[in-house]
A = this chain, B = another copy of it.
Amino acid sequence: MTTMEILRAARAAWPALQDADTAKKNAALDAMAAALLAQEAEILAANAADMEAAKGRISPVMLDRLRLTPERVAGMAEGIRQLIALPDPVGAVVTRTVRPNGLVIEKTRVAMGVIAIIYESRPNVTSDAAALALKAGSACVLRGGKEAFRSANAIVSAMQKGLERVGLPAALVQLVQDTTRQSATELMTAVGLVDLLIPRGGAGLIRTCTENARVPCIQTGTGICHVYVDAAADQDMALDIIDNAKTSRPSVCNAEEVLLVHEAVAAEFLPKLRRRLVDDRAAKGLTPVELRLDARAAEIIPGTPAGERDFDTEFLDYILAVAVVKDADAAIRHIAAHSTGHSEAVVSRDPAVLERFARSVDSAAVYLNCSTRFTDGGEFGLGCEMGISTQKLHARGPMGLEELTTCKYVVKGDGQVR
């Protein structure tokens, strides 16, 4: 089928899901998980073909992301099953107003309709995204990366078997069959057929969506996250937070990329920082962090001089840009000028500084004396997530089930006119 035919089939299938109650949606999730396990051999064979074709064409890190094993397939099935326990967001009455004329106005949470997701190579995103959309009451059109095309097709085919087993249309979960740019563009411009487009991937994909999307779109992911160490910081706590934010998983969007240090403590703090992130790590055989220093930081410790773009780059690597700032206001201004609006942290014992930072920093998540790494659906207690929104419209921060729905007003009357 062409991408447009797939979208039309999704729209046509959606009313069946709109009519499905929570029990039916949960039965579908259970059947989808069971089908993934039942089709394990087919999925692994498809993945082996993907791996063979990709070998030498993508990096070892990407190749590892692409690889499926029986354990990973079991993990995907388990991920789907975990959604069964989460509350169904659809149908909740968010607000209820009785007007003087007797009208009862209920703002009711309802499904979006058709959600399109453009993602890159990890095959498990296929099942995660489809299951989240389904629980949120929406049909889902997936457009994955070409490296994982065979794997994704096998996964979708299994999930469709699960849907059919409970009497729901297979077209509620579909994979776009064209992995060229053309299909991404078609999804971005299918006004009236796509209710929500979620790009999950690197800065390039997000930019392409911002520039080309005509359908409602939520930007996810890019994180140039800052930690500001105040004059009144507990410096040992600051070191722990920075170490965690930078080195626990440098390749993710909630990892720290920039450190700002108050000038009053820079001479004392920066040597400790260097010891922790460079010397101690090297001594333990861990990758030392490359420090890219602004002129003032470079007067205090050795490191790479920061280049022009170093305070505007999502390194996703063992690299940290470091600058010395005059005070908390200067840190807030620096963040306003350079942040992607994802996650920023302050370390301070001064309540006025914490309050000012929390109020003035205009990002999805603002951390007071804790690590930026907590920006995550699981860590926030949402149970799951479709990505981290860095935009202000609709959803900001981790997008759980509720963020994948919309509301409509149901107004009940008895002949009222205006």
Which A residues are closer than 8 A to B by beta carbons?
Answer: 15, 18-19, 97, 99, 103, 105, 107, 110, 112-113, 191, 195-196, 210-211, 214, 216, 218, 234, 237, 240-241, 243-245, 248, 358-360, 362-371, 373-375, 379-381, 391-394, 396-397, 406-418
Contact = CB atoms under 8 A, between A and B. Distances in A.
Contacts of A19: 359-360
A396 B405 CA distance: 12
Nearest to A215: B210
A368 B211 contact: no
Given A392-B112, A393-B196, A373 B418 contact: yes
A407 B380 CA distance: 15
A103 B415 contact: no
A10 to B, nearest CB: 14
Contacts of A240: 415, 417
A417 B366 contact: no
B241 A411 contact: no
A393 to B, nearest CB: 4
Copy tally for this chain in the complex stands at: 2
Nearest to A362: B113
A417 B360 contact: no
Q: Dominant SS at the A interface?
A: mixed
Contacts of A107: 397
Most buried by B among A19, A248, A368: A368
Given A371-B413, A374-B416, A394-B394, 12 more contacts: A18-B359, A19-B360, A99-B381, A105-B380, A191-B210, A240-B415, A241-B417, A365-B408, A365-B410, A371-B417, A371-B418, A392-B406
Contacts of A413: 367-371
A368 B412 contact: yes
A312 to B, nearest CB: 12
B210 A415 contact: no
Among all A-B residue pairs, the 6 with the closest Cβ atoms: A370-B413, A244-B417, A392-B406, A394-B394, A216-B393, A373-B418
A418 B374 contact: yes
B210 A368 contact: no
B410 A358 contact: yes
B241 A364 contact: no
A110 to B, nearest CB: 8
A417 B248 contact: yes
B392 A113 contact: yes
Contact of A406 (B237, B371, B396): B396
27 contacts: A18-B359, A99-B380, A103-B370, A103-B374, A112-B392, A195-B392, A196-B393, A216-B393, A237-B415, A240-B417, A248-B417, A362-B408, A363-B408, A364-B408, A365-B409, A365-B410, A366-B409, A368-B412, A369-B415, A370-B413, A373-B417, A373-B418, A374-B411, A374-B416, A379-B418, A393-B393, A396-B408
